[in-house]
């Protein structure tokens, strides 16, 4: 009995100290200090959140990695870190649904002197090195953070055979959120097998999507039999038909990278083959009859009425002003902005560059934000993204609209001049400040806390940082 009393006493004493520690954390002895209600407060910015119909000056508060409040004039005293974003736009983190990461089907030792040469598929010339070898298609995933992008979707770089490698090498380690379209070709892109119909295994494609349904959002078909004569081994619509079959089985959309030819027209793709919710990317590429006799081709609106989605997919060879400018002037604007960034891409550097081109064509900034947030989120069936709703993950972009004289280029080496440009000033992913090149969230170095001035002498020493807000 005495032992039980002693044990009970020890437990009671331990609970007392825990409660006392919690009380002290909220109000240290001799002070009126209170733990801040929010971890981070973006104050004084112009909020654009199309998902919630918000377009006004409002503050955004973050706590535990999620949106905690979106209100006017939230007191600065309620936040541990306050960032003055006056004169800037605060938006949901941008979503780029056409991006390339990883190796695809390229050989892992592509850089080695003894790497075997591969036959170069007709349409992948832009992604080959000077020796004619196929090189990895993907660029670093976290590069997207520099343009306010918090979610990227790999556009079919990997197929069923190569997806796990892409997941383990890139997706699992990226700071930016990474989702993916799975290539109908099991080997993925740039492996020399994109013309092999037997690589387009519907069951393996479906099984892989269902196994990784938290990451894979759809099916991608691209680069199939663009110029060579059709034959028994290469049916006209093989890649499209098999991609659709996989998508129907897995209940996901298809993204089409398409090259028309007399036997399979663009009209056939968007008016007959593509299903409602399917996405045609590279909409303003040179090969499509977007403009006919100076007018927008009626098939574009007909397809849109059917529910077909049109995506920019700018890339190194898929954006021409001669298609884009007349179409935009006549009211046909792509449903979503995207970059198609890859190792062969030198004409587009960022999501904000693509958006800036449309801003200079006269598309309002608020509309561009909609086509870079809530629209792509819906296209990939991820409605929890692209919004600053309270309770959602705090994926935030802080943007600035610059005014001056700017030049923009397309993939046909033509130029368009504009007077506006969008620049990313800060990117927050799940509450962490991952991109802040001008130091919006940072203190002047002379006013940094004493810890900043320390020289770490031992392993485990406190880092010499000016504050403790999470940035990695």
Q: What is the pLDDT of residue 232?
A: 84
Rounded average pLDDT over 112-134: 45
Report whether pLDDT(95) > 60: yes
Report whether pLDDT(316) > 50: yes
Domains of the chain, start order: 95-422 (3.20.20.140)
For 79-94, write each residue's pLDDT tens digit. 999 999 999 999 999 9
Rounded average pLDDT over 316-331: 97
Q: What is the pLDDT of residue 112?
A: 59
Rounded average pLDDT over 70-77: 97
Q: What is the pLDDT of residue 116?
A: 52
Q: What is the pLDDT of residue 1?
A: 43
For 412-469, write each residue's pLDDT tens digit. 999 999 999 999 999 999 999 999 999 999 999 999 999 999 888 777 788 899 999 9
For the chain, the three-class secondary structure string (H helix, E strand, C coil) is: CHHHHHHHHHHHHHHHHHHHHHHHHHCCCCCCCCCCCEEEEEECCEEEEHHHCEEEECEEEEECCEEEEEECCCCHHHEEEEEECCCCEEEECEEEEEECCCCCCCCCCCCCCCCCCCCCCHHHHHHECCCCCECCCCCCHHHHHHHCEEEEEEEEEEECCCHHHHHHHCHHHCCCEEEEEEECCCCCCCCCCCCCHHHCCHHHHHHHHHHCCCCEEEEEECCCCCCCCCECCECCCHHHHHHHHHHHHHCCCEEECCCCECCECHHHHHHHHCCCCCEECCCCCCCCCCEECCEECHHHHHHHHHCCEEECCCCCCCCCHHHHHHHHHCCCCCCECCCCECCCCCCCCCHHHHHHHHHHCCCCHHHHHHCCCHHHHHHCCCCCCCCCCCCCECCEEEEEEEEEEEEEECCCCCEEEEEEEEEEEEEEECCEEEECCCCCCCCCHHHCCHHHHCCCCCCCCCCCCCCCCCCC
């Amino acid at each position: 009995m005495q032992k039980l009393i002693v044990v009970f006493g020890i437990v009671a004493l331990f609970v007392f100290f825990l409660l006392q520690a919690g009380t002290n954390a909220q109000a240290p002895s001799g002070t009126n200090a209170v733990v801040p209600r929010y971890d981070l407060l973006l104050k004084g910015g112009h909020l654009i959140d199309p998902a919630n119909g918000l377009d006004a000056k409002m503050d955004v508060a973050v706590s535990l990695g999620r949106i905690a409040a979106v209100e006017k004039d939230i007191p600065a005293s309620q936040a541990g870190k306050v960032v003055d974003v006056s004169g800037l736009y605060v938006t949901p983190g941008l979503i780029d649904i056409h991006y390339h990461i990883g190796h695809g089907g390229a050989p892992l030792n592509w850089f080695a002197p003894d790497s075997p040469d591969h036959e170069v598929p007709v349409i992948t010339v832009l992604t080959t090195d000077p020796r004619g070898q196929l090189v990895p298609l993907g660029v670093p995933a976290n590069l997207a953070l520099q343009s306010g992008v918090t979610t990227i979707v790999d556009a079919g770089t990997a197929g069923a055979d190569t997806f796990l490698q892409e997941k383990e090498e890139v997706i699992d380690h990226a700071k930016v959120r990474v989702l993916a379209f799975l290539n109908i070709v099991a080997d993925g892109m740039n492996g020399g097998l994109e013309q092999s119909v037997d690589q387009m295994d519907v069951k393996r494609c479906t099984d892989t999507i269902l196994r990784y349904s938290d990451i894979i959002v759809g099916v991608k078909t691209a680069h199939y039999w663009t110029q060579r004569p059709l034959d028994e081994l290469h049916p006209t619509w093989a890649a499209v038909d098999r991609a659709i079959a996989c998508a129907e089985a897995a209940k996901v959309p298809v993204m089409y990278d398409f090259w028309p030819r007399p036997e399979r027209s663009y009209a056939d793709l968007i008016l007959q083959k593509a299903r409602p919710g399917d996405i045609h990317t590279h909409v303003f590429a040179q090969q499509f009859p977007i403009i006919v006799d100076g007018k927008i081709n009626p098939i574009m609106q007909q397809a849109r009425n059917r529910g077909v989605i049109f995506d920019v997919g700018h890339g190194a060879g898929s954006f021409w002003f001669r298609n884009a400018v007349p179409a935009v002037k006549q009211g046909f604007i792509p449903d979503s902005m995207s970059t198609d960034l890859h190792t062969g891409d030198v004409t587009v550097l960022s999501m904000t560059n693509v958006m800036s081109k449309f801003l200079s064509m006269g598309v309002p900034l608020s509309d561009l934000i909609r086509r870079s947030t809530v629209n792509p989120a819906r296209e990939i069936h991820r409605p929890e993204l692209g919004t600053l709703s309270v309770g959602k993950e705090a994926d935030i972009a802080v943007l600035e609209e610059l005014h001056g004289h700017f030049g923009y280029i397309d993939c046909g080496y033509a130029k368009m001049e504009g007077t506006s440009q969008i620049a990313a000033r800060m990117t927050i992913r799940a509450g962490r400040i991952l991109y802040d090149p001008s130091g919006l969230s940072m203190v002047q170095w002379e006013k940094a806390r004493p810890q900043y001035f320390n020289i770490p002498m031992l392993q485990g020493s406190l880092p010499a940082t000016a504050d403790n807000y999470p940035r990695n």
